[in-house]
Amino acid sequence: MIKPILIIDPGHGGNDPGGGTNKYWKEKDLTLKISLYQYKRYKELGVPVAITRTTDKSLSPDERTRIVRESGAKYCHSNHINAGGGDGAEVIHSIYDGKAMAEKIGEELRKAGQNIRRIFTRTLPGNSSQDYYFMIRETGSVVTNIIEYGFADSRNDDVQQLQNHHLDFAEAVVKAFCEYTGYKYKRPSGEIDQVEIPIRPVPPPISGGNTGGTGEYIHLPASASSWRVYPLDVSPTKGNESGFLNPKKFGGLTYKILGQTTPNVFIINTSDFGKVQIYGHPSTGAVVNKSSSQSKGETVNSNTESNQYAGKHLHLPKKESSWRVYPLGVAPVKGNEIGFLNPAKFGGLTYEILGRSQSNVYIIQTSDYGRVQIYAAPSTGATISEDNHTGENANKNSTDTRYLHLPASESSWRVYPIGVAPVKGNEKGFLNPAKFGGLTYQILGSTQANVYIIQTKDYGRVQIYAGPSTGATVSN
């Protein structure tokens, strides 16, 4: 067998639909369509090629990167669809290599009609010698480019472009690769066949009344104040909801499960919205079992949180200055973190355990990042007990409070939403220190070196970059 020069990685798959999902497609399906098309084209052009998956299957980060590392390939396309409200393609390369390839791919995508939002690299917070994204960091000597073909939630033209031209963009990447590596490129004969959208139709609604079902119930935890529900005939993704439930208001909510449309998406009957879909992955804190204290509709279920962790608290030792936390619904692995806690700063940190997504991975509520996952095996020094400290900032006193001062000489200072890269293009708005003769904010936390969390009047809680070179100062 000829060793491949290139391996293609369709992002996500199986139980992981991907964040670049909307009512027209799931990211895992669109990336597979793009990747299979490229796989076929490279074979036609005589390029030795491999692929990480050809079906809708789950791959853990470790499995995915191992396949790439052991493929023998020199290059890797990791295909993705973006989310976050932007517009345009992005190509990400390593801090060590892949920039020239990324720029060539960007050039051909632009020629194919897609605007280029940025071509960039990113380092791991607190460690500038390592790449941020695990697909780049953990694939060894393989030159890996993450290609984000556009935004699934763009307010501009990305959705229409991806519906109608995703294979044109796929072909543009093939052309870029061939020209970069010296393989002879020839356009496909005739027009590129387009794939009809939706790629995976939403399952039809179930018929009948409230009879039948699975014999199981879904319990929504009392700690959640807002839970999306979706009509039966749409994709159960953000933006398609028909309304919100409030488990907190009723001390928890329990519903009979009438059916299931996709993994972890259940059909229930509610008094306010009728028959709907609801997402209830274990990482959300929802519990599915055969126990219920109700006969119909939504009722209080005080037993929702009655599991082995009810009343338990997670204690992070004061010797640790950096502890990763992860968004719900992603693999809690290095590279997927949303930010870092600093137990050492507060003499240790304690959180109520709201649930568990997998062994030694707990769900907690933080002030800076909201509800997150945290890995806390006994080997990390973390402990679990019924002892309830105040929680985050429990040991903080006035001498620990720090303030960020923005100089009066600056008329425009970017601030960024929590959970995104604090880089140009991702800003939520601008502060104007000059207008007020300078601005001062209490520092609530830090997401990476020189990037602080502050509370602003106009934009709420945000990130702000304030390295020494900016003229900003930090004091007590």
CATH code of 356's domain? 2.30.30
pLDDT of residue 162: 95
pLDDT of residue 191: 59
Q: Is 320 helix (H, G, I), strand (E, B) or coil?
A: coil
Q: Is residue 210 part of a domain?
A: no
Q: Is residue 204 part of a domain?
A: no
In a shared domain, residues 125 and 44: yes
CA of 121: how far to CAs of 66, 92, 100, 110, 225, in Å? 22, 5, 12, 19, 37
Q: Is residue 471 part of a domain?
A: yes
pLDDT digit of tens for each residue in the chain (476 aa)?
Answer: 678 999 999 999 988 888 888 888 999 999 999 999 999 999 999 999 999 999 999 998 989 999 999 999 999 999 999 988 899 999 999 999 999 999 999 999 999 999 999 999 999 887 888 999 999 999 999 999 999 999 998 988 999 999 999 999 999 999 999 999 999 999 987 655 544 444 444 344 333 333 346 678 898 888 788 898 988 877 777 777 888 898 887 778 888 998 887 777 889 988 778 888 898 887 677 888 876 653 333 333 333 333 456 668 889 998 888 899 887 766 777 877 888 888 888 788 888 888 777 778 888 888 777 778 899 988 888 888 876 654 444 333 334 578 999 998 888 899 988 767 777 778 888 999 988 889 999 988 877 778 888 988 888 888 898 887 788 998 87
Domain count, the chain: 4
pLDDT of residue 213: 61
**Structure tokens that stand for 172 in this block:** 């543009």
In a shared domain, residues 376 and 342: yes
Domain boundary among 385, 414, 448: 385
pLDDT of residue 230: 85
Burial 317-354, CB ≥16 within 10 A → b, else e: eeebeebbbbbbebbbbbbbbbbbbebbbbebbbbbbb
Domain boundary among 236, 269, 300: 300
In a shared domain, residues 223 and 147: no
In a shared domain, residues 320 and 458: no
pTM of the model: 0.47
In a shared domain, residues 55 and 168: yes
State the Cα–Cα distance between residues 43 and 274, nearest whole angstrom. Answer: 51
In a shared domain, residues 380 and 407: no
Q: Is 289 helix (H, G, I), strand (E, B) or coil?
A: strand
Domain boundary among 357, 385, 413: 385
Q: Which residue has the tokens 């604090």?
A: 422
Q: Is residue 192 part of a domain?
A: no
State the Cα–Cα distance between residues 64 and 138, nearest whole angstrom. Answer: 9
Q: Is 267 helix (H, G, I), strand (E, B) or coil?
A: strand
In a shared domain, residues 139 and 264: no
Sign for the CA dihedral angle at 391, 392, 395, 398 comes to negative
Angle at 467 between CA 324 and CA 144, to 5 degrees: 55
Is the Cβ–Cβ distance between 215 and 290 less than 8 Å? yes
Q: Is residue 10 part of a domain?
A: yes
pLDDT of residue 381: 87
pLDDT of residue 407: 92
pLDDT of residue 173: 98
In a shared domain, residues 273 and 406: no
- Dump strand ranges (E) for 342-437: 349-352, 355-358, 361-366, 370-375, 383-385, 403-406, 413-415, 429-431
Q: Is residue 12 part of a domain?
A: yes
Q: Is 255 helix (H, G, I), strand (E, B) or coil?
A: strand
The CATH number of the domain holding residue 48 is 3.40.630.40
Nearest to residue 13, comparing CAs of 87, 79, 69, 91? Answer: 79
Q: Is residue 190 part of a domain?
A: no
In a shared domain, residues 420 and 369: no
**Structure tokens that stand for 216 in this block:** 């199981």
Residue 208: half-sphere exposure toward Cβ, Cα within 13 Å: 9
Q: Is residue 159 part of a domain?
A: yes
In a shared domain, residues 257 and 126: no
State the Cα–Cα distance between residues 311 and 288, nearest whole angstrom. Answer: 20
User: Domain limits at 352?
Assistant: 313-385
In a shared domain, residues 339 and 464: no
**Structure tokens that stand for 186 in this block:** 């020839």
In a shared domain, residues 295 and 334: no
